[in-house]
Amino acid sequence: MIREAIVTTRSLEGEPHIAPMGATVIEGGYVLQPFRPSRTLENLAATRIAVVNFTDDVRIFASCVVGRRYNVDVKKATYIDCPRLADALSHDEVTVERAEDDPQRPKFFCKTYHSEGHTRFEGMNRAKAAVLEAAVLVSRLGLLPDEKVAQEMAYLAIAVEKTAGPEELEAWGWVLDAVAEHRSRRAS
């Protein structure tokens, strides 16, 4: 199973970095697979620590892939010298046990060193899931035909219209802007 998480890392100099990343669940931890080039990859290779944060604030996922400035608070993790999301529902502090290099997508096998729950999970929501899917589409805009993106966005819009709250609507707006900008760049 792959859990969609916000992975927080830091550079050797201590600069925090946050990125949405699929965390494949394995016995005792996760496999993280950043595509090259990636700041997360550089940080994982240099420090061999990360935090896998679980959040249902889809604005964090969307803002990272659309490159929009959105203020996300981080604080030091409990046991490892790494940032974590201050408002995560829960987080896992991980250490890299081994890495498998690859020209496109290396694998980092991570062991969970410490897990912490912070706040209640309020339940599933279709608009959150739709924004997450749309954020994945945005991260692949350069690889996908415009027609496919338009079809998928039209389908995802149904769940957003029916079930979104203000946070999801805000994130959905960013995603729509990113798709429109990409289309006009491609056209010119």
Ligand X SMILES: Cc1cc2nc3c(=O)[nH]c(=O)nc-3n(C[C@H](O)[C@H](O)[C@H](O)COP(=O)(O)O)c2cc1C
Interface with ligand X (CB under 6 A): 4, 19-22, 33-35, 38-40, 61, 64-65, 132, 135-136, 139
75 versus 105: smaller Cβ distance to ligand X = 105
Closer by beta carbon to ligand X, 20 or else 29: 20
Contact predicate 120/90, CB 8 Å:
no
CB of 163 to ligand X, least distance (A): 19
* Closest CB to ligand X among residues 110, 188: 110
Q: Of 90 and 188, which CB lies nearer to ligand X in the complex structure?
A: 90
The rounded distance, in Å, linking the Cα atoms of 63 and 188 is 25
Nearer to ligand X, 38 or 47 (CB): 38
Q: State the maximum Cα–Cα separation within the chain, in Å, rounded to a whole number.
A: 50
Least distance CB 43 / ligand X (angstroms): 8
**Smallest separation, CB 175 to ligand X (Å):** 10
Closest CB 31 distance from ligand X, rounded Å:
10
Least separation in angstroms between CB 6 and ligand X: 9
Contact (Cβ atoms closer than 8 angstroms) between residue 44 and residue 50: yes
- C-beta nearest to ligand X: residue: 40
Alpha helices (H) in 100-145, listed in sequence order: 126-139
* In 33-89, beta strands by DSSP E: 49-54, 74-76, 83-85
Q: How many CA atoms lie within 13 A of 113 on its CB side?
A: 18
Coil vs helix vs strand at 39: helix
- Tell the smallest beta-carbon distance from residue 58 to ligand X (Å): 9
Q: Using the minimum distance from each CB to ligand X, give the nearer residue, 14 or 78.
A: 14
CA distance 112 to 125: 28
Separation in Å, CA 127 to CA 56, 102, 131, 168:
11, 35, 6, 6
